[in-house]
């Protein structure tokens, strides 16, 4: 373990290759600003007292100029084919009720505005913490009499992207007190717990080494304000739980189940870590 500029640089084995964290503590164009459709998207905010970081930075700031540019124009953003599909699903009748989402919620730009910014959150009726995906499937079951969508299905990704878009530009602001506090504490514990053959935690990369390079990847703070995100590596949209699962596989740990309590707790904690950043859904990453 070698220390550079106050940060720990780890050398680890992953997927059969040596991954080394190079001492390059830099941010891609620190003065860059994200504006979409003329609206400023906040990608950097001062961290509040008690936050583990000095400043909170969107993953957009760590991407290449070309990748950043893809997100600045909705016409070029490859995720918008899924957003358009989500808009169709919003109007589509489903289940035994013969109702669509629009039947109850009307115009999504009004009824869904702010929802993504507050997720995940406590659901009084179900007495549990629910992600946006959980809410969608709960509504399909309770209000439409329809079967749930699979977590990473084209339908679920399209709907979460469409609903998430309605909150774009709004600050992430999740509740972590009351009944959600237990989940928040569990998520925090998971974030700092070392797991897998490489004996690493989320914090080793995204807190101790953000701004450094892990081979060809510029490590970010791991903020989740842009999900579901179109990753060029995936050539499609993916949920944040898919990203969590991928990270665990990279350190040779057994991943938790997408939609399970562990990833839901981690999602809440990470959302809190990104408080104040604008919702960017659907973001574009490498």
d(CA 217, CA 250): 13
d(CA 121, CA 129): 5
Determine whether 247 is an active site residue.
yes
* Nearest one of 184, 230, 179 to 59, comparing CA atoms: 230
Cβ atoms within 10 Å of 78's Cβ, excluding its own: 15
Q: Among residues 101, 104, 205, 247, which one is catalytic? A: 247
d(CA 251, CA 158): 29
Q: Distance of CA 270 to CAs 4, 35, 45, 207, 236, Å?
A: 26, 24, 15, 12, 23
**Residue ranges with strand state E in 110-233:** 121-123, 128-130, 213-214, 217-218, 229-231
d(CA 69, CA 49): 33
Residues known to be catalytic: 247
């Amino acid at each position: 373990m070698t220390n550079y500029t106050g940060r720990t640089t780890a050398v680890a084995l992953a997927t059969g290759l040596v991954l080394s964290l190079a001492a390059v503590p830099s941010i891609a164009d620190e003065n860059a600003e994200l504006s979409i459709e003329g609206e400023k998207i906040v990608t950097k905010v001062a961290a509040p007292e008690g936050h583990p970081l000095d400043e909170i930075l969107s993953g957009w700031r760590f991407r290449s100029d070309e990748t950043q540019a893809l997100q600045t124009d909705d016409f070029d953003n490859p995720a918008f084919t899924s957003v358009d599909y989500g808009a169709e699903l919003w109007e589509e009748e489903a289940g035994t009720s013969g109702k669509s989402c629009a039947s109850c919620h009307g115009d999504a730009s009004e009824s869904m505005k702010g929802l993504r910014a507050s997720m995940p959150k406590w659901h009084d009726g179900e007495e549990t913490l629910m992600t946006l995906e959980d809410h969608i499937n709960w509504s399909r079951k309770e209000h439409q009499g329809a079967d749930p969508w699979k977590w990473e299905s084209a339908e679920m990704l399209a709907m979460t992207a469409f609903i998430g878009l309605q909150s774009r530009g709004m600050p992430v602001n999740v509740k972590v007190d009351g009944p959600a506090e237990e989940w928040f504490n569990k998520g925090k514990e998971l974030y700092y717990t070392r797991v897998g053959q490489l004996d690493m935690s989320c914090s080793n990369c995204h807190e101790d080494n953000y701004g450094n390079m892990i081979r060809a990847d510029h490590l970010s703070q791991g903020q989740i304000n842009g999900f579901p995100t179109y990753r060029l590596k995936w050539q499609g949209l993916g949920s944040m739980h898919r990203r969590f699962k991928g990270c665990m596989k990279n350190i040779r740990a057994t991943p938790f189940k997408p939609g399970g309590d562990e990833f839901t707790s981690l999602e809440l904690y990470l959302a809190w870590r990104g408080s104040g950043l604008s919702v960017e859904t659907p973001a574009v990453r490498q």
